[in-house]
Chains A and B, each alone.
Chain A
Amino acid sequence: MTVDAVFAALADPTRRAVIGRLAQEPASASRLAGELPVSRQAVAKHLAALDRAGLVGTRRVGRETRYSLDPAPMGEAMAWMASVGAQWDERLARLAGRARAGGPRTSPAPSSRRQPVNAGHSTDETFDRR
């Protein structure tokens, strides 16, 4: 699975509606078609795209296939981590510049607060799936 597949899957408003619905509880394609303003065929097509992106899983219940959300590829937790991580990358780049600049009295303040992120620090990131 690729990141592109996830973004492509999320780019379509109908697929986002399907995801929003599945976030509440698992449902069959027929039920989704009944609740969303799209045909059964269109729902099946969108579910297939979401499946390729790894965003939904399936489970047989009796005679029907029930779809459930697999939120791991993209969720609020990940979004929060992306935001917070990017902020620390910027701050630590400035911190490294400040450290390299020498003592507090001998060096002028950095001229720019927006230095490139090149401080040689690792971008180790952990993402524990819940």
Chain B
Amino acid sequence: MSTVRREIVLPVARERAWALLTEAAELREWLADDVELEPDVGAPLRVAWASGEVREGVVEEVDERRRLRFRWDDDATGVPSRVEWTLADDPGGTRVVVEERPLVALEVRGVPLPWVARATGITALARAAALAYA
């Protein structure tokens, strides 16, 4: 499996961090240009960017102030994925771990796919390659 993992410490208390991650008005400030999300299991999710990209999904797990998990489709890549945000106390505020993993097996073909150039540009690709070889 291929999992993307990122970690960040936000200089705010857990309650504020949870609001930043689950209130649509906050999500519109950092996740996408338009976000419809309710932290309720089974709630539909809709995320849209000014570029025209739209992703739809569903909230799968809610553990108030600890964890939010959802899945969304990605028409640009054709790869649906699952995203999990995990919150924990940290001396610097609140530690947020983001994990995203594909819900389908990714083919390994040895060559970059056409969508890669559109989605990332070669810079991001090279960066990931550098990470993988580090």
Residues of B within 8 Å of A98, CB to CB, are 20, 26, 29-30
Cβ of A3 and Cβ of B109 under 8 Å apart? no
CB-defined interface of B1-35 with A at 8 Å, one 1/0 digit per residue? 11111111111100011011000011001110100
Knowing A81-B4, A88-B6, A121-B9 are in contact, say whether A110-B29 is a contact too (CB < 8 A).
yes
Total residues of chain A contacting the partner, CB 8 A: 56
Let me know if B62 is at the binding interface, CB within 8 A: no
Which chain B residue lies CB-closest to A124?
B5
Cβ–Cβ < 8 Å partners of A2 in chain B = 133
Of the listed stretches A29-37, A41-49, A58-66, A69-77, name the one at the interface; the rest are far from the partner chain. Answer: A69-77
- On whether the beta carbons of A120 and B9 are closer than 8 Å, the reply is yes
Select B1's contact among A20, A78, A122, A128, beta carbons within 8 Å. Answer: A128
Tally of B interface residues using CB under 8 Å:
52
Is B43 interfacial (CB-CB < 8 Å)? no
- Assuming A99-B11, A125-B4, is B124 touching A82 (CB within 8 A)? yes
Residues of B within 8 A of A120 (CB): 8-9
Binding site for B on A (CB under 8 A): 1-3, 6-7, 10, 16, 19-20, 22-23, 55, 69, 71-86, 88-89, 91-92, 94-100, 103-104, 109-110, 113, 119-128, 130
Closest 3 CB pairs of A and B: A75-B108, A82-B128, A121-B8
| Cβ contacts A to B, 5 pairs, < 8 Å | A81-B4, A109-B29, A121-B6, A125-B131, A126-B2
